[in-house]
A and B are shown apart, each in its own frame.
Chain A
Amino acid sequence: MTASLSSVSVVFGREFRAYFATPLAAIFLVVFLALAGAMTFFVSGFFARGSADMAAFFTWMPWLFLVLLPAIGMRLWAEERRSGTIELLMTMPVAPWTIVLGKFLAGWAFTGVALALTTPLWITVNWLGSPDNGVIVAGYLGTFLMAGAFLAIAACISTLTKNQVIAFISAAIVTFILVTAGLELVLGAIRGWAPYWMTEAVAALSVLEHFQRITQGLIEAPTLIFFGSLIVLALMINTFLVDLKKAQ
């Protein structure tokens, strides 16, 4: 077990540093912050709303992450397969799941860095008024969990191709479907013809539904289980696919 944990941390260290080995990471963080800022201040009218909370910021997160996390996850396995380094990795005396987990955690930590850089907004809100900081903490928790789920899906999909662009686009499409599953627009379209259980199943898959509840400050078991199981399931499929696809 300690050996497994230590290989998770060795992989994590390499992958996390790899994000900063190119200027891409910096570009990424800047784009994320610029978009998050633009959406919050200009589109949602942060100041005009006149309320001291971060709802204007969190509302946009699912839509930003839809693009951001496939971009963070796309290289995790596609690049490994393209360059052939997967052959080195998979002949190391460690369990494949430890590599899958280490890579995932590195991407997640990178997302954490991006989120941490938005805290000036939180400080500003506190400076302007007296917000319910509990709700904001819940909002960050929900955002981080959602990021984990999107990233796990992106990592999983990146095992299927050697091309990062294809990995990016496919992951963005899958994530888009997950986000929009709960929209009335989509549910309405299904409801007309599909049986009740199917509509319910699609609605239950909705990231938006769970995300909105947690950003209102409701930290509930079903939401935690929803994001947690999405992550675990995607990582399990990831481990399976790596083994299946590594030599092709």
Chain B
Amino acid sequence: MTTLVEAHGLKKRFGDMTAVDDVSLSVSRGEVVGFLGPNGAGKSTTMKMITGFLEPDTGTAQIGGHDVWRDPAAAKAKLGYLPEGAPAYGDMPVADFLTFCGKMRGLRKAQLNNRLAEMAERVRLTEVWSRPIEALSKGYRRRVGIAQALIHDPDILVLDEPTDGLDPNQKHEMRNLIREIAPNKSIIVSTHILEEVEAVCSRAVIIASGKVVADATPRDLVGSKDDGRAIQIRIGSPEEASVIEKIKPLADGAELEVMERINGSTRVLLRYNDKPEDTRAIETRLKSADLPVEEVGIYRPRLEDVFRDVTTRIH
């Protein structure tokens, strides 16, 4: 498989703060990499360095075999980029803006018109085609940004939060679009929506505080935490702390960890050093102690849990 994006040892400091710390990433044709991380983790900064907008302090980035700093024109010609927030010239109608972007990318005449027509249809912009961008809703503006990134049918796509601000139908369409074009391209998408990663990405790269903390397929990421050594229970009571105290002596020496609190119920993990005994037995024991416990079962982590786990650990 051809590697279309190759970033090596990217580092960027802003004053005293290291925003990106030694990030390496390589993406082959056909891969869709989901770029994840908490706010301020350094996703956008990394993308800016890969696209040649921001010069790294150290490290290199290659796009389609061309170094983005030594041979910027060749590298950028193969790249489509949606910057964070989907910036665009607000005073321009959608058609003019996309024409401008296409021309800057070297498209002319029939070829340009074909691409414009395709974008109007595929990204569904026909309705707003001659409206000024500043008069569009946030979702439409985001779509104009996507169209701009796709106008020259680039081999490499870097999309910074492409589905931010889209309604559920639009998100669904966007995912379909990415899936459709993926086989011939290398795509890097950053997102905060984890189900999206499971739906479209062949790989998930998680960064925290500027460092890569996980890089695997979504399935493997989840699998790596899925060792069957924990039991998950749900407590349906607002007095969670006292309930947890009462569970402790009944849990065979498990380590208790609160996973999340939703709508007055709390998800608690009982972690064991080894595979736990029969979950049934534990369930019966807890219930006979008259504790408000529901849904006792072996813990099958979700991507969300893995994300929280790898990004909140102290590095």
Which residues of A pack against B, CB within 8 Å?
3, 6-7, 10-11, 13-14, 17-18, 21-22, 83-85, 87-88, 90-95, 246-247
Contact = CB atoms under 8 A, between A and B. Distances in A.
Contacts, number: 70
9 contacts: A14-B89, A18-B92, A83-B87, A87-B48, A87-B81, A88-B88, A91-B53, A91-B76, A247-B48
A18 B106 contact: no
Interface in B72-86: 72-77, 79, 81, 83-85
A6 B104 CA distance: 8
A194 B106 CA distance: 54
Contacts of A14: 89, 92, 96, 100
Nearest to A96: B72
A7 B53 contact: no
Interface residues of B, number: 30
Contacts of A246: 53
Contact of B54 (A3, A10, A247): A247
B83 A87 contact: yes
B82 to A, nearest CB: 9
Interface string B82-113: 01110111111000100011011110000000
A17 to B, nearest CB: 8
B76 A92 contact: yes
Nearest to B68: A91
Residue among B48, B52, B90, B104 with max Cβ neighbours from chain A (10 Å): B104
B163 interface: no
Interface string B208-249: 000000000000000000000000000000000000000000
B57 to A, nearest CB: 12
B103 A85 contact: no
A11 B83 CA distance: 20
B311 interface: no
A73 B54 CA distance: 25
Contacts of B77: 93
Nearest to B89: A85
A85 B73 contact: no
A111 to B, nearest CB: 20
Nearest to A22: B91
A93 B151 CA distance: 13
By Cβ-Cβ distance, the 8 closest A-B pairs, closest first, are A84-B87, A93-B77, A93-B76, A21-B91, A87-B83, A10-B103, A92-B104, A85-B87
